[in-house]
Structure 1
Amino acid sequence: MKALGIAATGMMAQQTNVDVISNNIANANTTGYKSTRAAFTDLIYENMTREGATTSEAGTTRPTGIDIGLGVRTAGTVRLNTQGGLIQTENQLDVSIDGRGYFAVNTPDGQQAYTRDGSFRLSPEGQIVNAQGFEIDPGIVLPDNTVSVDISETGIISAFVENEAVPVEVGQLTLTTFVNDAGMRPIGNNLLEATAASGDPVPALPGDPGVGIIRQGYLEGSNVDIIRQITDLIVAQRAYEMNSKAIETADQMMSSANQIK
């Protein structure tokens, strides 16, 4: 009897599903977080009788076969890259991307990572960094005695220095796009890294065709739909229970068969 193994794969799949949904709910208020969903695929089939097999000397064939599936497995987790809501903060160094694209940051190991989290800060040297202290790329340093900062929709950063009437242009925010955003690998701290599946990073300027613009004083909220997540959680729980019931039923059938004398 294959039901025990088949139902066990279903329980493991729904356990993964619940883990993914729980992570979405936990990150409902994480800046720039993109919700994910678990994708599943059926396992191989055991062919008991082949479709189209000859059934008589007259040349008739079997219209259907007997194929017994062996369960389910997790094919992957799909990130849903829809736009999150913009939350006004009034912080001059808080910026959000309205549209496609990612900010590039330089990690301490010399690699680049990418993020939608634009809650930037200043290092002790006046350099613009992310929440972990990683410098953004390209690096931008504000002059001493900067009293305010202006960031345009196209990413041009201008600093108003004390006692100076004219702002000083200090740098340009750039964005990076990917052919397959869903193929990027999450590494924590609101960071993603490029992979062979995502394709090579494509540098761009805010406002370029197919690229988002910059909104100063705003942060992009999570795109998690709590109501949808709770609904999916209930469905996953019911599916888990039904697979558990299938195991219980198969066990009872085996017990009955063992008691036949």
Structure 2
Amino acid sequence: MFRVLWNGKSAMLANQEKLDSISNNLANVGTTGYKRVDVSFKDLMQESLDKQGYPINDKTAYTGTGVRTSSWVRDDSQGQLQETKKSSDLALDGEGYFRVKQADGSVAYSRDGSFKVDSNGNLVDAKGNFLDVEYAAGYNKDTVALQDKISSDNFTIDKQGTITLKDSNKVVGQVPVYTAVGNDAFTSVGESLYVPKAGAQVVKSTNVDVLQGYVENANVDMGKEFADMIVTQRAFQLGSKAITTADEMWGMINNLKSR
């Protein structure tokens, strides 16, 4: 009886975590560059029950002790690219991440290319983080003349990430794109930002195009998320039903003993 209660409890906890991931995905369906998350399940330790004394062939039965989530898994597949015609909006078609510098000086990586140009000619995201740009030799954005600074619509960025001023055809620099060696090398820190895990190696990506005037939408399929929600809610209810049934059976047994 205890096993039924425990299995029901573990099923409810695991499916609640699955529901949390679905809710997170649906809440971020409109977030630029967001990558959906899922959870993977694993069986808890199994016990071997040796059924001795049976008149047939000796068999060993296995019984599980529940289920739990083993990890949250991020889906890094590319979302749909949407044209905005805004010069400072960038999207990555292929593998890789933009690198941004945060207020505390640390760096993070993101697929969110919704940038804008600040008063100093920097490309910044909605949180004020600076897009990493490798400036051309001899170009100093802090000392160049006003006409040579990046403004909202005086520059172009080609597929290689090269930034060129429209009027003078002067190359300002390049937007580098980075990727990590190995799967699951980045960990999310929120706000569509990622940092490499300890020991992860980050290198420049070559299998990618930088597209100006586009952004990458979240890779969330609402139809799939709602279908998963229905299935997961049903599984949660079954776990709850198992606990209720076990409690009723326990009550019946106690009543029998009292007679």
* TM-score range for the pair, normalised by the shorter chain length: 0.7 to 0.9
Q: What residue in structure 1 maps to residue 177 of structure 2?
A: 175
- Give the length in aligned residue pairs: 245
Superposed displacement of residue 109, structure 1: 2.6
What's the RMSD between the two structures over aligned residues?
A: 2.2
Shift of 1:49: 1.4
**Aligned residue number for residue 77 of structure 1:** 72
**Residues of 1 paired with 2:25 and 2:124: CA distance?**
26
AA matched with 1:182: D
- In structure 1, what is the equivalent of residue 208 of structure 2? 212
Cα contact 1:80–1:182 (8 A) shared by 2: no
Using structure 2 for the length normalisation, give the TM-score.
0.88
Contact kept in structure 2, 1:34 and 1:80, CA below 8 Å: yes
Q: How does 1:109-124 map to 2 (within 5 A)?
A: 109-124=104-119
Percent identity, please: 36
Q: Which residue of 1 aligns with 2:27?
A: 26
- Equivalent residue in structure 1 for 2:158, among 128, 152, 161: 152
Contact 1:21 1:229 survives alignment (8 Å): yes
CA 143–188 in structure 1, closer or farther in 2 if over 3 Å, else same: farther
Question: Runs (4+) of structure 1 moved beyond 6 Å?
Answer: 53-56
Report how far residue 54 of structure 1 moved.
11
- 1:81 touches 1:181 (CA, 8 Å); kept in 2? no
What is the identity, as a one-letter code, of the residue corresponding to 1:256? M
CA contact (8 A) 2:185 2:197 kept: yes
| Structure 1 alignment gaps of length 5 or more | none
The answer as to 2:5 corresponding to 1:4 is yes
How many angstroms apart in 2 are the aligned matches of 1:71 and 1:175? 44
Q: Secondary structure at the match of 2:34?
A: coil
Taking the TM superposition and a 5 Å limit, the aligned residue runs for 1:47-66 are 47-49=48-50, 62=58, 64-66=59-61
Contact 1:47/1:66 (8 A) holds in 2: yes
Find the aligned partners of 2:197 and 2:222 in 1 and give their Cα distance.
Answer: 29
- Provide closer, same or farther for how the CA distance between residues 189 and 134 of structure 1 changes in structure 2, counting only shifts above 3 A: same
Taking the aligned partners of 1:236 and 1:98, their CA distance within structure 2 comes to 33
Deviation of 1:181 (Å): 4.6
Q: In 1, Cα distance between the equivalents of 2:154 and 2:77?
A: 32
Check 1:125–1:258 CA distance in 2 against 1; reply closer, same or farther (3 A cut).
Answer: same
Deviations 1:13-32 (A, max 9, x none): 01000000011011111101
The answer for the alignment partner of 2:138 in structure 1 is none
| Pair 1:226–1:253, CA change in 2 (3 A) | same
CA displacement at 1:217 relative to structure 2: 0.3
Does residue 37 of structure 2 align to residue 41 of structure 1?
Answer: no
Tell me the residue number matched to 2:92.
Answer: 97
Partner Cα distance (1:250, 1:231) in 2: 29
CA distance in 2, matches of 1:119, 1:143: 26
Q: CA deviation at 1:121?
A: 1.5
